[in-house]
Structure 1
């Protein structure tokens, strides 16, 4: 299984990226191969000017197109996903997510922002061809503990993540035991 994680947070450390790393680790534990794309690390000028030939953007877009599973993570700002993520998604071809399993992860200050994933981000992913969108995992900022290794999601968040990943891991006993 070829997995690409797209971290849509403009900041570091990031709760949404920490949650994304947890998802990628769980999928790697069952034999998947993952690549993390941190959009904030890509050249901003190239993204904003839609310089499709920029080598780092070409590599990122090709990684998404080659993936079987795409995990998209974003913080929620002002009831919407991050602008950094939107700018990157605009670079994908119209059918860039066709035939892929897609998992959406989000974090925000309160539960009030949960619906931003369903009403703002999922329609964009669908417009890019995503037809197999797994259950959304949303976590409030208070559901993370900041430690030496960065932000760590609470057990309840990890349980929701394991349930969302279940369709991808159902035939794999290694993850079923870890959940």
Structure 2
């Protein structure tokens, strides 16, 4: 089974961001291993913290990376940025398949995963074979956007995962 590292960059543990991202992992046929970045604490403010290093290693071992954040001021959270900065080199996610995912209050920021989060993942070496997913935090469980996303992009993501395993 495909493993997904679900990186949750929401300051609130057990958030809707986490729930929605884990739903995405399941819809893509992956077993989610969730990393609540908020639980990593002050170790994110420097480099070399053992707990943070372990979380980075768990992400690097996964088949699929789902980087999930609430939308703050049209972009992803500073908490998620602190975690992504822990990947020491520009190839910290080299060849890994990643999906940028964000929840927001309204449709005005629907391009935020594409415009702000995807470039960071690509800079770290990740392969993003699909558009980022943006969902409204008030309606994501029942609005059908997840099913539409998986119908449109699931095959491309799965194909990329297959290619990644053969490297």
TM-score > 0.5 by shorter chain: yes
Could you list the runs of 5+ residues in structure 1 that have no partner in the other structure? 145-152, 171-179
Pairing of 1:149-160 with structure 2 (within 5 A): 153-160=141-148
Q: Does 1:131 align with 2:132?
A: no
The residue number in structure 2 matching 1:40 is 38
Pairing of 1:1-179 with structure 2 (within 5 A): 1-27=2-28, 30=29, 32-43=30-41, 45-48=42-45, 50-52=46-48, 54-93=49-88, 94-144=90-140, 153-163=141-151, 164-169=153-158
TM-score (norm 1): 0.78
CA distance in 2 between partners of 1:40 and 1:165 (Å): 29
Secondary structure of residue in 2 paired with 1:64: helix
Secondary structure of residue in 1 paired with 2:117: helix
CA distance in 2 between partners of 1:127 and 1:117 (Å): 14
Q: How many residues align?
A: 156
**Which structure has the bigger radius of gyration?**
1
TM-score (norm 2): 0.83
Shift of 1:14: 2.0
CA distance in 2 between partners of 1:131 and 1:114 (Å): 21
- Greater percentage in strand: 1
Shift of 1:97: 1.5
Q: 1:23 touches 1:161 (CA, 8 Å); kept in 2?
A: no
Could you list the runs of 5+ residues in structure 2 that have no partner in the other structure? 160-167
Question: CA RMSD, aligned part only?
Answer: 1.9
Q: Deviations over 1:58-108 (max 9, x none)?
A: 111111111221011111011110110000000013211111111121111
CA distance in 2 between partners of 1:166 and 1:42 (Å): 33
Secondary structure of residue in 2 paired with 1:107: strand
CA distance in 2 between partners of 1:61 and 1:133 (Å): 22
